Amino acid sequence: MRLSVILIAYDMAREIPRTLRSLSRKYQLGARDLEYEVMLVDNGSPEPLDASVWADLDVPVRHIQMENAPPSPACAINRGLQAARGEIVCLMIDGAHLLTPGVFKMALSAQQAFDRAVVAIRYFYLGIGEQTATVLSGYDKAMEDALLERIEWPGEGYRLFEIGTPLRSGANRMTWFNRMAEANCLFMPRALFMEQGGAEERFDFPGGGFLNLDIFKRAVEAAGVTPVQIIGEGSFHQLHGGITTNKAGEEREQQLERYRRQYELIRGHRDVMSKASFIYMGHMPTRQSNISAVEKRRARLAGNPIL
């Protein structure tokens, strides 16, 4: 089997059907004949996911229900990794993300082009700003549903760029060439992830703390790896009440400091940013996918909710 997507979910009954649609053969370009599976790992949701919600989707789901699951997704990731059959794994630690249609095609092309490629898809939020800020101004699930309806998603998947905002990671100016510190859609050889022991289960905070950053850093800095960032494709976060999304100000900083302290205890330092050199590979499928130009346009339209 060529590809296993490890998709972690917790209390995402609204979001998972959309995520799976974005992983389906009908939606992903070139996936009609692709041999792949989606390892949907429910990390102990209060109400387990109902398989009937994806029964009409052309997506090869293998559903794993975690019993007595710890609050961190680390164990769920490792459970999915052990069961995965693909030569390549794609880790989606937050199951509430929608992909653009060329993610599989571009990521697998990079895997074919480069030895031991680790391929990162850029992280976006749905909405006109980063959700850590927009939720404080009233952005909610109903508004998000309306945005997706407005672009008639999933009819044209690249229209997600019209209603999305890239994760800035502190950057003042965003382009496709900004260095990434994490990805919610990360492709790597399964053998590489196994060599590294999978997810480090000492990251035991709800949501994993800096687990995702740790997986990214270790993968792109591994010996013999070719790190690749894809241009023109994205992974878009649906609002679902995440651990950090709904916090702001001092409360959020205190939480992040707890994450930093745990990372330092586990790794012996606080340098979560990778220093690896990346190869950039991709395309510009639509005018809106030029994120630097879109940011300039939004600056001119500041205060106007219709972008």
**Strands 185-189, 88-92: parallel, antiparallel or unpaired by DSSP?**
antiparallel
Return per-residue pLDDT of the chain as tens, 307 residues: 999 999 999 999 999 999 999 999 999 999 999 999 999 999 999 998 999 989 999 999 999 999 999 999 999 999 999 999 999 999 999 999 999 999 999 999 999 999 999 999 999 999 988 998 898 889 999 999 999 999 999 999 999 999 999 998 777 889 999 999 899 999 999 999 999 999 999 999 999 999 999 999 999 999 999 999 999 999 999 999 765 555 556 788 899 999 999 999 999 999 999 989 999 999 999 999 999 886 666 655 555 444 4
Q: Tell me how far CA of residue 27 lies from CA of 117, 137, 144, 251, 285, in angstroms.
A: 24, 33, 20, 39, 15
Q: What secondary structure does DSSP assign to the chain, as a single string?
A: --EEEEEEESS-TTTHHHHHHHTSTTTSTT-TT--EEEEEEE---SSPPPGGGGTTS---EEEEEPSS--SSSHHHHHHHHHH---SEEEEESSTTEEE-TTHHHHHHHHHHHSTTEEEEEEEEEESSS-HHHHGGGT--HHHHHHHHHHTTTTSSGGGGGGGEEE--TT-SS--TTSPPS--SEEEEEHHHHHHTTSS-TT--SGGGTTHHHHHHHHHHTSTT-EEEEEEEEEEEEPPS--TTTT--HHHHHHHHHHHHHHHHHHHSS---S-----EEEE---SGGG-HHHHHHHHHHTTT-S--
pLDDT at 302: 53
Tell me the C-alpha distance between 79 and 73, whole Å: 10
Q: Is 276 exposed, middle or buried (0-12, 13-18, 19+ CB in 10 A)?
A: middle
Contacts of 61 (CB under 8 A, 6+ apart): 20, 37, 38, 40, 51, 54
Tell me the C-alpha distance between 110 and 245, whole Å: 31
Tell me the C-alpha distance between 54 and 60, whole Å: 10
pLDDT at 128: 87
pLDDT at 86: 98
The pTM score is 0.94
Q: What are 39's two structure tokens? A: 């390892």
Q: How many CB atoms lie within 10 A of CB 252?
A: 14
pLDDT at 242: 64
Calculate Rg over the CA atoms of the chain.
Answer: 18
Tell me the C-alpha distance between 131 and 116, whole Å: 34
Domains detected in the chain:
3-300 (3.90.550.10)
pLDDT at 250: 79
pLDDT at 215: 98
